[in-house]
Chain A
């Protein structure tokens, strides 16, 4: 397997999931297609 954890989406939930996973020592990837913020933070 390429990764221990693959996170789909780099909004608020995805960013926290990825940081938590890498903090636990997991080989982690995050997939994002459109910007890097959640809805609330990303649109104002």
Chain B
């Protein structure tokens, strides 16, 4: 939500190039932005308990703790159940760094009603980069301190390289291979980078180093539920192998921390629990997006993983600079990249950075779902001028 507001503001500021006047004074009233976010979020959960009751679902308030495989305590009350689905989600973690209590989690940062002038982000994953770009484009000077050698390690190398190139213009300094040592009372952050200790002054520090599953206090040992690396261990049916009447879904499994994975697994776990293990979870085709500004989306294999898997890899791509639709909108950054198998013509992966990437990726996902070859797609008609046309153009060599 914040991302789309900030994106609108940054587009508006550049709208002078399109001949719009009065765009010089476009600003962001951050308190109003946060208040609107809070209203919308509240509306999504409001009335949910009564909706459950209307649907015939009993709502029990409190924390649930197993006391036996089929028996739980919920707020001093004992309840018994034939089957249990664990869906307790995940929470941001604070790594053991001196002064880490001075850092904000993403939840806390999104409650603040003022924009920090300077912000250090500890982490370089999806949350770190999405909030880094949103705050950077909103006017905060952001420094991202990633511990590993690259930000957003799951991305295709070309997408990452393009995003890294855009970062300075968006107000972000990206640093990799860092070891954060200390957060001082004045919020400055000390980190060791290539053997040198550097100090980064900041008004706010965001800690975004991952969200471990919420398993504490559930009494899983009383139910015989095995835990692996902090997550409820499950098989492909989202069933606990050690306690077969117990299933788990969503972030608590530590597998796919995405909202669409949560609803897919929630349904699947309930069906398998009640009907027997009918459906195995299938994530072979799972489109994802990172809501940086611009956004990045991908489906299927990266070029590097396709090569690792031994395919005779071919790559074709189209920059949005070649798109009339992108030119009309004055948003020509980015590209569509297609990774394909030269032998069969099968599409192995598609990677999009640029305007509407999060929507365009579904064109590719549907094509891959239907096992369409590149050749089949190059012969397709499309509406001109559209951003989606670039997905088809990218199929050509």
Question: Using a CB–CB distance below 8 Å, which chain A residues touch chain B?
Answer: 1-22, 24, 26, 28-33, 35-44
The reply to whether the CB of B61 lies closer than 8 angstroms to some CB of chain A is yes
List A contacts of B247 (CB < 8 A).
17
Chain A residue at minimum C-beta to C-beta distance from B108:
A43
Q: What 1/0 flags go to B16-29 for Cβ under 8 Å of A?
A: 00000000000000
Binds A, one of B33-41, B323-331, B358-366: B33-41
From DSSP, what is the main secondary structure of chain B's interface residues? mixed
Closest to B70 in A: A1
Q: Is the CB of A30 within 8 A of B45?
A: no
Give Cα distance in the complex from A26 to B274, angstroms. 8
Nearest 5 Cβ contacts at the A-B interface: A13-B250, A16-B266, A14-B87, A6-B81, A36-B48
Q: Is the CB of B263 within 8 A of A30?
A: no
A41 to B260 Cα, complex, angstroms: 11
- The binding surface of chain A is classed by DSSP as mixed
- The reply to whether B84 and A11 form a contact with Cβ atoms under 8 Å apart is no
The reply to whether B58 and A28 contact each other, CB–CB distance below 8 Å, is: yes
Contact A41 B44, CB 8 Å, known A7-B85, A20-B267 = yes
A21-B270, A22-B55, A36-B49 as given contacts; A13 in contact with B87, CB under 8 Å? yes
Question: How many angstroms between the C-alpha atoms of A33 and B217 in the bound complex?
Answer: 13
Q: Verify B44–A39 contact, CB threshold 8 A.
A: no
Contact B83 A6 (CB under 8 A): yes
Specify which chain B residues have a CB less than 8 angstroms from the CB of A2 in the assembled complex: 79-81
Number of B residues near A (Cβ < 8 Å) is: 60
B263 contact set on A, CB distance < 8 A: 12-13, 15-16
A and B contact pairs by CB, cutoff 8 A, 15 listed: A3-B58, A5-B82, A9-B89, A12-B250, A13-B249, A16-B249, A17-B85, A19-B55, A30-B57, A31-B61, A31-B62, A31-B63, A35-B45, A40-B259, A42-B44
- A44 CA to B88 CA in the complex, in Å? 18
Chain B residues near A26 (CB-CB < 8 A): 274
Known contacts being A21-B270, A36-B49, A43-B106, is A13 close to B251, with CB within 8 Å? yes
Question: B59 on the interface (CB 8 Å rule)?
Answer: yes
Assess whether B243 is interfacial by the CB under 8 Å rule. no
Contact (A32, B61) CB under 8 Å given A7-B85, A8-B87, A9-B89? yes
* Residue pair A3, B79 in contact (C-beta under 8 Å): yes
Question: What residue in chain B is nearest A28 (Cβ atoms)?
Answer: B57
Q: How far is the CA of A10 from the CA of B249 in the complex (A)?
A: 11
Residues of B247-289 whose CB lies within 8 A of A: 247, 249-252, 258-259, 262-263, 265-267, 269-271, 273-275
Closest to A7 in B: B85
Other-chain contact of A21, B41, B74, B86, B274 (Cβ < 8 Å): B274
Closest to B86 in A: A8
- The answer to whether A8 and B85 touch across the interface, beta carbons within 8 angstroms, is yes
- Chain A residues within an 8 Å CB radius of B376: none
A8 near B84 with CB under 8 A, answer yes
A4 and B267: CB pair below 8 A?
no
CB neighbours of A24 from chain B (8 A): 270-271, 274-275
Cα of A40 to Cα of B89 in the assembled complex, Å: 11
**A38 vs B186: C-alpha distance when bound (angstroms):** 33
A37: chain B residues within 8 A (beta carbon): 41, 44-45, 48
On whether A38 and B89 interact (CB within 8 A), knowing A1-B82, A8-B84, the answer reads yes
Is there an interface contact between B74 and A31, defined as CB atoms closer than 8 Å?
Answer: yes
A32 and B85 alpha carbons, distance in the complex (Å): 13
B72 within 8 A of A: yes
Q: Given contact pairs A11-B262, A18-B57, A41-B41, enumerate 13 new A-B contacts (beta carbons under 8 Å).
A: A5-B82, A5-B273, A8-B64, A9-B250, A11-B251, A12-B263, A16-B262, A17-B87, A17-B267, A24-B270, A26-B274, A32-B61, A39-B211
Closest to A27 in B: B58
Complex formed: what's the CA distance from A15 to B167 in Å? Answer: 37
A21 to B: closest C-beta gap in Å: 4
Please state if A39 and B87 are interface contacts (CB–CB under 8 Å): no
Q: How far is the CA of A10 from the CA of B63 in the complex (A)?
A: 11
| In the complex with contacts A8-B86, A22-B57, A41-B44, A17-B62 CB distance below 8 A | no
